[in-house]
Structure 1
Amino acid sequence: MKKNLNVTAAVLDLRKVSEETFASYEDIKLQAALVLTTPRVEALLAKYPVEMEAAVSQSCGEDTVVSIVNGKSSLSAAHKPEKDTILMVNGKLTIAADAADTLRSYNKIIINGKAVCPESLTAVVNEKAMVNGKLSIYPDEAVVLNGTVKLDKSFLIRAQDRLYWTEKQFVAVDAKLNADALAAKGTRFAASKAVIAEPLAEKLVPLFTENTELVILPEGAAFVDDDLKLTPAALRRYGCKLYVTGDVNIPAESAGVLEKVEYLHVGGDVTITAAAEDAFYAISDTDYKELRVLKGRLVNDMPMVRITSEMLNLDADGISCTDCALVTLDKALTAEEIVEKLHISDCACIRCTMAQEAAVSAVSTDVAQIKVTDAPEERDDGETVRRMGAQLTL
């Protein structure tokens, strides 16, 4: 009996594969992000029982090389390839304004992540590159900055008569910032968003391009560029006016804290317990993507937790399990108990039985994996040859 062949790789090079190799296997399954072929190989793929899953299948010469970059990378006029090259970037690629000839020098560019390019090179990028992610475009003359950029005294010292751009946002909430001095230097800004404290707005807003979304914070508001758990300690640190870029979690014990909050704008979701719901709605100025009200006893931010029938019965509304790494359900729990008493959100892995799986799916939100612990193992009818690697040649 012939063997089966399963191959999984980031880059699979088939350019030199022989017909005898294909003929020696009963069943062939190929999985890769990039498959290199030639016209001869493509004819063999059509002739034999080959099942191929590939993000990109590229026909190229035998001398073409593949360059793989994991993480951040950049292209400029100084990065021209010496050979016919296919470039694969698993991460972020920043393209300089002088990189037109460099882009055209590559056989193909595959970006699994994010690409940042100047406006004048958009057409070239669309022609030469496949972007499996987001393409951000910046003005050609701009100085490219990374992430959230704070406009403070340190920025003022280094600022020049230039246009500055970031794909994320500029933040100006430092009351000590000399806005007049910044404007006098001829500094300008371009971004998708700018967050500006109200006392600085009149002088700073004219420095931003017209397509920049402006968020004007009330005087005294704190800017939190992260997720936030709203507790008495957080309120002491940031005050009663909060602008949070991430998610906000409000535990049951913080219901009293909400009475002091005057302004709460959240870039992500707000999670509260049912006990804190009325106090949250009483805040005079709020904005958020989604409000999630958790019912029952809250179990959150734990590396491992085991859910039993006794736990579900501790509260009339059951349990809300959120932000836990591994959640294991007791085998004795019935599907009815799970649907009626359990709520799961933002957890990495849920372990349950086959009889519980449908109920777990029904009560879960934003769960990475549901692992069935008693699923039957798959069996192979014949011998299977498995090959795995970052870059394989057949």
Structure 2
Amino acid sequence: MKVLVVGGGGREHALAWKIGQSKRVEQVFVAPGNAGTAQDDSAPIENVEIGDTDIAHLLAFAKKNSIGLTVVGPEASLAAGIVDAFSAEGLRIFGPNKQATELEASKVFCKNLLRHADVPTADFHTFRDAESALLFLDEREDSSLVIKADGLAAGKGVIVCANKAEALEAVKRITGSDEFGAAGKQLVIEDRLVGQEASVLAITDGHTILIMPAAQDHKPAHDGDKGPNTGGMGAYSPTPLVTDELMRSIEEKVLVPTVHQLKRMRRPFKGVLYAGLMITKQGLKVLEYNVRFGDPECQPLVMRLQSDLVDVLEAAADGRLDEAAEMVWDPRPAVCVVMASEGYPGEYTKGHPIRGLTEAAAVPNAKVFHAGTKLVDGQVVTNGGRVLGVTALGNSISAAKLQAYTAVKCIRWNGAWCRKDISDKALE
């Protein structure tokens, strides 16, 4: 079978690497891919110069090359309707259709669905313009709030505000600048939840749900969860925060009611259902949903996955996930550390040569997944804000962290930086 992976980030490199290990797969194409997928000789991977939202050319490529399964990484591709287009042509594709993708593409839609499905979440209000949002804030007592842009904003559309003044500024920033574009046309204002975050990803065909081990992302840019939100500065799996009992509660109170509510709304969901959760003193709460593999959560998860990922993705795409075997996981934890460009999540420069990748690849039980990289005259250079996801397994979380940071220390470029405390929450 030939498989097409759509996207060019760390998640897509990880998916292509794992899919390429399947005995059933002869070739993995990645569109557009990055320097890592171009050079990864551990699996039969080849880049294709087609953008991840160029649906017409992706569709033509899949037909011409007899692609047996297409796996979609980025939310932008899903929101653009790639699954609808491929399905209409009878091509097998893994991911939710455009209507179901609204669960991530619209924060307003997501919060309303959670309310109707009786899924626990923070109290919230939605607004169609800045004036009504500012008036609402003016009339409220000073409190800690979260302001969310309604649409897709590359993981940066959520602003946590300590007080009313910060909330007023956040509303003006989202609605009054070009930074968020169409994503900021509607707003959600919700109470700030206090607790620890966890990510639980599940594969579903709209009927059966296969839940993956819990992970913990690190959204704020700097150590100790300080600084602005990013697309994610690292992740580890599993997290001791999510016990077996809590996982059963997540399935019963979060995932199952959400899948059923989408079915009732005639938006049946196939793909990865990613619940961003906050574990509070008042109990479990849903922060948001994503509708695809998380980045960087995907990297430690695929490092731990021992069974054939293709079997599960294909079964979900075909609506026969009940026939698929349970996924088998390495009991060892995995830690992913994201190395970023200077200035990220703000402005940054590209094109810096990256050194030390060969040395990092030699670190036992470590794998460097590329995200924002490209090849220029055979040299790997930076091409994004989040550049690499350095991931490692270990017999304990501490051991996995040590291996990941040992590989990180091998890698250098002008302005490279990372958080130093990825996975430390597990040790507290």
Report the TM-score, using the length of structure 1 for normalisation.
Answer: 0.22
- Identify the structure with the greater strand proportion: 1
Bigger relative contact order, structure 1 or 2, given CA contacts below 8 A and separation 6+? 2
Q: Which has the higher helix share?
A: 2
TM-score, normalised by the number of residues in structure 2: 0.20
